[in-house]
Amino acid sequence: MTLLVTGIGELTTLDEARTSGTDPLGLLADAAVVVEDDGAVAWVGAASDAPAADEVLDVDGRAVLPAFVDSHTHLVFAGDRAAEFEARMAGTPYDGGGIATTVAATAAAGDDELRALLAVRVAELRAQGTGAVEIKSGYGLDLAAETRLLRLAAEVTDEVTFLGAHVVPPAYAGRREEYVALVTGPMLAAATPYARWADVFCEPGSAHAFDGDESRTVLEAARDAGLGLRVHGGQLGPGPGVRLAVELGAAAVDHCTYLTDADVDALAGSDTVATLLPGVEFSTRSPYPDARGLLDAGVSIAVATDCNPGTCSSSSMPFVIALAVREMGLTPAEAVRAATLGGATALRRPDLGRVTVGARPGLTVLDAPSYRHLAYRPGVPLARTLSATLPALPGGRS
């Protein structure tokens, strides 16, 4: 079974063979795409040259893009922290302390409740054009609870990240090294069947998160257990997270709100993607990362939502794109590239984020003639996935 999507007014291919300095998206006008049953792209070209297919969908001049890749989320949780957000808007700074509130609410929820909450969130992001999503644990913080969150995340995505090293739970106050031993020992062993990645909240300035030595211990253990590495670094202040991520070959270091020149130098020329999460700066009233400076230095960047109950309770990649343009100095094309190919690179998934033969990106269609409208019309629900790469949701919601 093949589907011909035709009548595409503007196709963002992100095909390396079509991109250039003046066209970072590899645009094709009046285009068509043929997609196989399993989501694989079989043909891309001018609509007038399109081959026959089993089904035809005419999108009537709309813009089509590879589905967004949201490479940083914390979607498995219960409860909300709207009151914490309200206090922050009145001046209370974010320090990670509220994570304990979500850990307690999540512990009180059964599997079915968490599964249903997760399904709603995944449906929400698909409805806004996201086709692939990374999901972290980190609201369990004991062996059984972390394993449960990883198991539930693995029901909806292949991109599951073990974040036992989110914060040191209060029960381990004064015994931090015992918690690090738990994370790098039994918890890690229980996590590996479900997780592709491991992550650590490396933030020496926070009493709750992990310092450079603790983070190194966590990341080296995870690497030795065969997991790929990701790092939360430079969120609340400059720290060792970025250079540690680069040194250990992490796929991505995320936040990068506060970077030193040495951090930027380390990232430039490395294989580590700097993932920027401007919804967090919006929701915590923080300064935005210097995306322009990173790109100009030759750093590979992605943008993602970081959807979580504390620092950014939005699942909207279009919102992130609009912020990246308005607040971080990216062009609309650079922001779209960071939300698609950038996220795919941050997840080391060459099959995502580009509309090329053999890739399985999922297609996102805009109720607009151009990708530019994503930033130009913020808050307007323009984007939706046509064929998402996410599996069908439990309970048949898709």
- Residue 311 annotated as binding? yes
Alpha-carbon span 335 to 162, nearest angstrom = 28
CB of 305 to ligand NIG, least distance (A): 10
Q: Please, are residues 121 and 80 in contact by the beta-carbon 8 Å criterion?
A: no
Determine if 280 is a binding residue for ligand NIG (CB under 6 A). yes
- Residue 288 annotated as binding? no
CB of 219 to ligand NIG, least distance (A): 16
**Of 290 and 306, which has the nearer Cβ to Zn ion?**
306
- Residue 359 CA, chain-centre distance (Å), reads 19
Alpha-carbon span 336 to 383, nearest angstrom = 12
Determine if 159 is a binding residue for Zn ion (CB under 5 A). no
CB of 301 to Zn ion, least distance (A): 16
Determine if 134 is a binding residue for Zn ion (CB under 5 A). no
Which stretch, 12-20, 38-46, 304-312, 349-357, contacts ligand NIG (CB under 6 A)?
304-312
Q: What is the CA radius of gyration of the chain?
A: 20
With CB under 6 A as the contact rule, the residue among 27, 47, 99, 118 that binds ligand NIG is: 99
Task: Tell the burial category of 126 from Cβ atoms under 10 Å away from its Cβ (0-12, 13-18, 19+).
Answer: buried
Which stretch, 49-57, 95-103, 268-276, 380-388, contacts ligand NIG (CB under 6 A)?
95-103
> CB 373: neighbour CB atoms within 10 A?
18
**Of 76 and 375, which has the nearer Cβ to ligand NIG?**
76
- Residue 306 annotated as binding? yes
Determine if 306 is a binding residue for Zn ion (CB under 5 A). yes
- Choose the contact partner of 310 out of ligand NIG, Zn ion, none; CB within 5 to 8 A by kind: ligand NIG
User: Dihedral of the CA atoms 36, 42, 46, 52 (nearest 10)?
Assistant: -60
Alpha-carbon span 333 to 199, nearest angstrom = 29
Question: DSSP secondary-structure letter at 73?
Answer: B
**Of 313 and 331, which has the nearer Cβ to Zn ion?**
313
Q: What is the token pair recorded at 130?
A: 């996201």
CB of 289 to ligand NIG, least distance (A): 13
- Identify residues 308-337 at the interface with ligand NIG (CB under 6 A): 308-311
CB of 149 to ligand NIG, least distance (A): 13
Q: How far is CA 395 from CA 123, 152, 155, 398, in A?
A: 12, 14, 12, 9
- Residue 70 CA, chain-centre distance (Å), reads 3
With CB under 6 A as the contact rule, the residue among 201, 210, 319, 371 that binds ligand NIG is: 201
Question: DSSP secondary-structure letter at 50?
Answer: P
Known binding-site residues equal 72, 74, 81, 139, 166, 232, 235, 306, 308, 310-311
Q: Footprint of Zn ion on this chain (CB under 5 A)?
A: 306
